[in-house]
Structure 1
Amino acid sequence: MEEYLRASQVIDCQHPEIVNLAQKIASGHQSSTAIAKECFEWVRDEICHSFDYQMNPVTCRASDVLRHKTGYCYAKSHLLAALLRANQIPAGFCYQRLSIDDQGAPYCLHGFNAIYLPEIGWYRVDARGNKEGVNAQFSPPQEQLAFKIQFPEEADFRAILPEPLPIVVEALQAQTTWDGMLQRLPDVTLASANSYGLALDH
């Protein structure tokens, strides 16, 4: 589990502001499952999704997501992983390939998390932020993600990665505005998924 607890440049879980918030969220809770739930709900509800709120800047590093209180789904997953790891709870990264407008092509990656819970093992959660038509919850062992697969070219990749995909990090770091990012959302075709370490599961 070590690699799912590690600090990195993007998942800077040793940053003082991350550590302080992680401790504050965890206070009063005994079990890692209870702490994980609080971390998930905090990121889901307190960090504004960049597109939903049309907020700048585009964030990537976990501490920047916390500082600016905004991020795309990928960035929110970076902060959630950092808070969990700061509380010694293993956390990884998951992706789906989804239609951008729910009409078919074009497609993009959607990022969320998996958390290792002692009672059930890996449990996937999506902290992108709820809105009309999106109701992601923390209710193990039942999984309740934000989006379901609807089209043949969409995919639910079952891989749980210890670090965010480089193409996701590069896309976030290349943009400064929410609408600029919207035009350049990262994507992985189904044919190339294996080369990114993403196992296919329709």
Structure 2
Amino acid sequence: MTRSRSHALWMLAATLLCAAPVLAQAPASAARPAASSPLSDVLKVPRPKGGEWLGLYLMDKKVGYFFTNVALVPGRKDQVRAVTELVFKATVGSKLSERVHREERVYEAKPGGRLLSFVVDQRGDGGTQRLEATNTSSGLKVVRKRPGQPDEVLTVAASAEKTEDADQARVAILRKAVVEGVVTDGTDLEGYKITTTAEPAEERMVRGVKVRLSRAQTISEKEKVPVTAYFTEDGEMVEVDFGQTMKARAEPETVAKRLDTVEVFALTRIVLPKKLPVEARAVPGRAVMVMTGLPEKFQQDTYRQKYVKLPDGRVEVTLLSDFPKASNLKPLPVTDPDGGENLKSTIIVESDNADIRKLSKTLVGSEKDAYTAAKKVVTWVATNLAKDYGASADRASDVLRQKKGDCTEHSLLAVALLRAAGIPARRIDGVVYIVNDDGVPAFYWHEWIEAYVGEWTQMDPTFHQLVADATHFGVGKEGNAEITPLIGQLKVVEVKDKPSTAGKP
């Protein structure tokens, strides 16, 4: 089976990391700027002293914890420091997968104060690195430090993040208004719009007592997962809901750090009532199922997936696979139908890295046909990367150097090599059908790729499929946590031999 850390664990982590800055806390006893100095609203709201600890629960299983704190920088009355730390831990197959992500951000303390700097420390699954960033009007300068590697210096667009973005939830409740801002993501260094709305208060049981809680809902343009935080009148954050899948609950530090033993794939897999037909493995191929728990926004027909609404919230899904049409194939380089987004080099994809460009050129050689070139790239990745589910990496150049990993590493390196060759490409998130050692037919969370060779075609570098077969059900792109609410909610209630309501595709 595929042992991808991203697709039951780290997509959820991405959601939390995105939400972390807007849920930050500050000690009530922290020193305040002089009365004559203007105060940002992040310093005007009540909070528990010393920050807060929250346990993280995936489908009611404890898989991590979260700490957050905001205070004036010691000895300074003009700067605010926000600290967030996220720890995820779960068993992935036979191995323990753990990820620690810690950030410190410093802002001007005045209203609308700009982000001055931040430090990101990451260790565990995905690799160890430290990012030290300084924000100026001319750009965000980032120094990347990794054990045994020379430091790298990157300069990206200046961050538009403001002091109020460190705690949008409480600011929105204080103002009784919508708060909008931008947060620079600590993993890809891109700026994403964040919007928080104060919602009507509600009564809930907290530690056995019914209390009235203020609440605010935050959503990021990157993750698109609504995050709702609940606060007492004293400013204590008692719960955070990340859709129906993940919750964070206020706990003492010692309790927050006590985790359950969770095998994430057994917990999050989607069991099928019977096996898919043999033709699902063929190309051309097809599989037909009836699902529940699939929101309408995911029911968009594509060249690979067709949907028919049925009564009672059910939907018939037809999965298709086929070779790209010869008449549509294009020579290299290929124009990106999305305007260049799928050819872009980023801090994660790194298609402009010298080693990746060199390998891509070697693999493609004098080949002019884009699909033939794409097959060479996917074949090389499939046959030269060891399947090692405890050797993850978050950057394409790191994957190339270590030459091992799970489906996320295979997909990341393949996309980087394809883009370096002038082939638009992107990662696809979803599930893949596997009958594991226990004999249970099920979908497991997985990642593969899609390349534009004159038309879009999906390929799987983990399983060496030059056309991804009809056992692949895609629901998202580029490691986006938008699909995380499907985990634990999506069900397959019927496997069919052929479409009965849609007609033959």
In structure 2, stretches of 5+ residues that fail to align are: 1-337, 491-505
* C-alpha RMSD of matched pairs (Å): 2.8
**What is aligned with 1:69?**
403
Deviation at 1:35, TM superposition (A): 1.1
Shift in Å, 1:104? 6.0
User: Contact (CA 8 Å) 1:47, 1:70: kept in 2 or not?
Assistant: yes
Shift of 1:57: 2.8
Instruction: Tell me the matched-pair count.
Output: 149
What is the CA–CA distance in structure 1 between the aligned matches of 2:365 and 2:453, rounded to whole Å? 18
Q: Which runs of 5+ in 1 are unaligned?
A: 131-135, 150-155, 169-185, 193-202
Shift of residue 98, structure 1, vs aligned partner: 4.6
2:492 is equivalent to residue 189 of structure 1:
no
The equivalent residue for 2:354 is 16
Amino acid at match of 2:480: L
Residue 5 (1) aligns with residue 343 (2) = yes
CA 1:15–1:99: 2 relative to 1, 3 Å: same
Q: Is the 8 A contact 1:108 1:187 kept in 2?
A: no
Q: Which of the numbers 466, 471, 474 marks the counterpart of 1:157?
A: 474
Higher RCO (Cα < 8 Å, 6 or more apart): 1
Taking only the aligned residue pairs, the percentage that are identical comes to 23
1:129 to partner: Cα distance: 3.7
Distance 1:98-1:17 versus aligned 2 partners, 3 A rule: same
Contact 2:429/2:479, CA 8 A, preserved across alignment: no
d(CA) in 2 for partners of 1:187 and 1:29?
42
1:175 corresponds in structure 2 to none
* Partner residue, 1:115: 451
Q: Measure, in 2, the Cα distance between the counterparts of 1:187 and 1:97.
A: 14
Give per-residue Cα distances to partners, 1:74-107, cap 9 Å, x unaligned. 11100000000001100011122257846267x7
Which residue number corresponds to residue 440 of structure 2? 103
Residues 122-174 of structure 1 show CA distances to partners (whole Å, capped at 9, x for unaligned) of: 100001045xxxxx2x2xxxx343x826xxxxxx1254x2x333599xxxxxx
Q: Which AA in structure 2 matches 1:67?
A: R
Q: Tell me how far 1:31 sits from its aligned partner.
A: 1.4
Distance 1:167 1:45 in 2: 31
Paired with 1:123 and 1:99, the residues of 2 have a C-alpha distance of 19
SS across alignment from 2:450: strand
Q: When you count helix as a share of all residues, which structure comes out higher?
A: 1
**Which one has the largest radius of gyration?**
2
| Distance change >3 Å, CA 167–CA 16, structure 1 → 2 | farther
Larger relative strand fraction: 2
Runs of 4+ in 1 over 6 A off after TM superposition: none
